[in-house]
Amino acid sequence: MSLSRARAREREQREGERERERESERRESEKRESERSERARERREKRERESGERASESDERALFERDIYYLSPMPRSIYSLPSPLPPPSLLSLSLSLSLSLSLSLSLSLSLSLSLSLYIYINIFTVIDV
């Protein structure tokens, strides 16, 4: 009985040592990571100080325009260059209007011709009788 208790106690001690080692490794890795991020932040601040404290107003405007350029739904060239052709929807609308106008004109012309022919025939039939 005392042998099994001694083994259990040794096993608990080994597990406790392993747990302490894992905890110390975790703390060391966190410490290294924080030191690394601190050095990176210091380098970044040093670069900013060397290049100027802050971007000027024109630089901010250029950055804003660049963001607008990349966030716009259509390519910038369509906005900036005059297009030789109207947009497709306007083109299809004008084509459909011209087609309907030509059809209505041909229909009205044919109706007027048939009406004139009808009147002409009626006049001559009245005169002949």
pLDDT tens digits for range 52-89: 655 565 666 676 666 665 565 555 555 555 556 556 67
CA atoms within 13 A on the CB side of 73: 0
The answer to whether position 93 is within a domain reads yes
Model pLDDT, residue 50: 72
- Which residues are CB-contacts of 94 (< 8 A; sequence separation ≥ 6)? 86
Band (113; pLDDT cuts 50, 70, 90): very high
The answer to whether position 31 is within a domain reads no
Domains contained in the chain, number: 1
Is the pTM above the cut of 0.85? no
Count of helices and strands (H, E) across the chain: 4, 0
Classify 88 as helix, strand or coil. helix
Question: Could you read off the pLDDT of 81-111 as tens digits, one per residue?
Answer: 555 655 667 778 888 889 999 999 999 999 9
Between CA 65 and CA 127 the distance in angstroms is 83
The answer to whether position 84 is within a domain reads no
